[in-house]
Amino acid sequence: MKYTFPKDFWWGSSASGPQTEGRFTGDGKGENIWDYWYELEPEKFFDQVGPDKTSRVYEKYQEDVQLMKQIGHNSFRTSIQWSRLIPNGTGTVNQAAVDFYNHYIDELLANGIEPFFNLYHFDMPLALQEKGGWTNRETVDAYVTYAKTCFELFGDRVKKWFTHNEPIVPVEGGYLYQFHYPNHVIMEEAVAVGYHENLASAKAIQSYHEMDLDGEIGIILNLTPSYPRDENNPEDVKAAQMADTFFNRSFLDPAVKGEFPEELMTVIKELDIVPEIQEGDLAIIKNNTVDLLGINYYQPRRIKAKETPIDPSHGPMPDDYFDYYDMPDKKINPYRGWEIYEKGIYDILTNVRENYGNIRCFISENGMGVEGEERYINEDGQIDDDYRIEFVTDHLKYVHQAIQEGTNCLGYHMWTCMDNWSWTNAYKNRYGFISVDIKNEGKRTIKKSGHWFKTVAENNGFID
């Protein structure tokens, strides 16, 4: 069967500043929470590889753009590092960072690759984290100033902006489940973080539109569909709806509809953990919704009614309202431990079409992390990652189906372009179209999937 995608479909990949750029003498970058956490507890990071040792894009961006072009990219998303551009989070702008991002943007454009730029990808400047990070209302103002600075510096050429990548992750990782610094388990703080991220996003959108720049601004959300163990069991269905409310709708509803889900507000009122909502906040959120929605999809969430006892030791948690369901016979990526469920991408796109006004959207991340990819190196030194080609193909078929049914999906960006540093996992699992040898000065080699992707982009689809 032939799968043809709409004209001008965005074919490319996504990455982030903190996961790719690295740190170099004289680059002027300030400390962020990842730099600090690595200094504090390097043993928490796989093979003790820290954010200073990422893929060296800061010095290799010209080579990287040529490789992107070689594998068929017409678009590419990355992020500006707040701590690189404004080292203390507020105050002086780092001219070396301005020069770097200007050169990077110009290089992409000169090679026919449209830059998509995200403003926040988990990399809170340390000076702001020391004052509470996203729990502190002042961070919202600092972020808006940072966003405006980016729009002023780069908005003449960058026409696709995003306020946050996966804003639920700092909520979960930093304030509920201990996989991001500061590793707190305090739901009241988690709610404040989520509220301030939503408010910051709306205020940045407001600023962007007030500046009358001729681009668009959105948000990138990891939408993980929640499936009940038994669709005919009302308690399972309700539990899945609660998980969806906490982890998807907490950002999707305000971003697209301009309001928080009623079910979420009911819970945080019952728990007496409503954040401070100042006069005018809700109007700003209501009136500054996104132009464009990026959707990250990796895996589904399987849910059942709460059966295990609630642990009161750390106060309330989202999972007081549901249990995770370990579905038998699921297809698994054994390296990441994540279920592979291709239809999930279709279900998300259908939900966005049916319940969110069919907003213009695109798949902003989807990918497969595999450990030990050197096992698949052929005699020519190329990694034959057929499993990645199969993964992307199977997801693209469902993206195609959603588009055929009317979903306003404009593109597909795989995570990621070249292998990059993944937080505490560092380089354990590789995701790229291009391999990076971190022991050999970051040497790049296109994988089989990269060459395959070029044919997909050139043909605007594939035959299967």
What's the CA gap between 349 and 429, in Å, rounded? 27
* Sign of the C-alpha dihedral computed for residues 179, 183, 186 and 189 taken in this order: negative
The per-residue pLDDT for 338 is: 95
Tokens of 286: 């209501």
Counted domains in the chain: 1
CATH number, position 212: 3.20.20.80
H-type alpha helices, 271-380: 281-287, 343-355
The per-residue pLDDT for 85 is: 99
The position carrying tokens 């999707």 is 252
Residue 343 burial class via C-beta count within 10 angstroms: exposed 0-12, middle 13-18, buried 19 and up:
middle
What's the CA gap between 395 and 398, in Å, rounded? 5
How much is the pTM?
A: 0.98
The per-residue pLDDT for 222 is: 98
Residue 345 contacts residue 364 (beta carbons within 8 Å): no
Q: Which residues pair with 219 in a beta bridge?
A: 293
The per-residue pLDDT for 308 is: 96
The per-residue pLDDT for 101 is: 99
What's the CA gap between 186 and 176, in Å, rounded? 6
Tokens of 310: 């609630």
Type and span of the H or E element at 292: strand 292-296
Residue 149 contacts residue 86 (beta carbons within 8 Å): yes
Range of the domain at 198: 2-463
Strand ranges of the sheet holding 301-304, from the earlier edge strand across to the other edge: 226-228, 301-304, 323-324
What's the CA gap between 431 and 412, in Å, rounded? 15
Catalytic residue chosen out of the listed positions 189, 197, 342, 365: 365
What's the CA gap between 234 and 228, in Å, rounded? 9
Residue 405 CB: number of other CB atoms within 10 A? 12
What's the CA gap between 293 and 401, in Å, rounded? 19
Rg (CA), the chain: 21
Q: What is the DSSP letter of 184?
A: -
User: Which amino acid, 265?
Assistant: M
What's the CA gap between 146 and 166, in Å, rounded? 19
The per-residue pLDDT for 345 is: 98
| Secondary structure (3-state) at 125 | strand
Q: Which residues pair with 296 in a beta bridge?
A: 222, 365
What's the CA gap between 125 and 30, in Å, rounded? 7
Residue 92: asked if its preceding bond is cis (omega within 30°), the reply is no
The per-residue pLDDT for 96 is: 98
- Residue (of 352, 422, 417) closest to 388 by Cα position: 417
Tokens of 332: 């698994």
The per-residue pLDDT for 394 is: 98
As averages over each run of 10 residues, the pLDDT of the chain (464 residues) reads 97 98 97 98 96 95 98 98 98 98 98 98 98 98 98 98 98 98 98 98 98 97 98 98 98 98 98 98 98 98 97 95 97 94 98 98 98 94 97 98 98 98 96 95 96 98 96
Q: Has 259 been annotated as catalytic?
A: no
